[in-house]
Amino acid sequence: MLVGKVIDSIVSTRKNERLVGNKFLIVEPLPCMGENRDRLVAIDNVGAGIGEIVLVAVGSAARAGCGHPDAPIDAAIVGIVDNGERL
């Protein structure tokens, strides 16, 4: 999993129907975790908000682990990091 900060959200009115009902958040990987990852869009599985430090699962884990086995989802916020600001 990667650790990042929620910096924004995006809206998509015209989308695959299996994505309906999901919130799309833009996550910026924390610089302290390295420089090789780009920002990504993840669905929100835990009620995360802008500014929070979160744990993001990518790949098939995002579907299998969040109750969306048949949706075109490749990234999901699966935890809010406690005391994330210390990282």
Chain residues that interact with a copy of itself, rule: CB under 8 A = 1-3, 10-16, 18-19, 24, 26, 29, 32-42, 45-47, 55, 57-66, 69-76, 78-83, 87
Provide the minimum distance between the beta carbon of 77 and a copy of itself in the complex, in angstroms, as a whole number: 9
Nearer to a copy of itself, 51 or 72 (CB): 72
Neighbours of 61 (CB within 10 A): 15
Tokens of 52: 């929070």
Q: Residue 2: name the closest of 23, 24, 33, 43 by CA.
A: 33
Report the nearest approach of a copy of itself to the CB of residue 72 (Å).
Answer: 3
Backbone angles phi, psi at 30, to 5 degrees: -65, 135
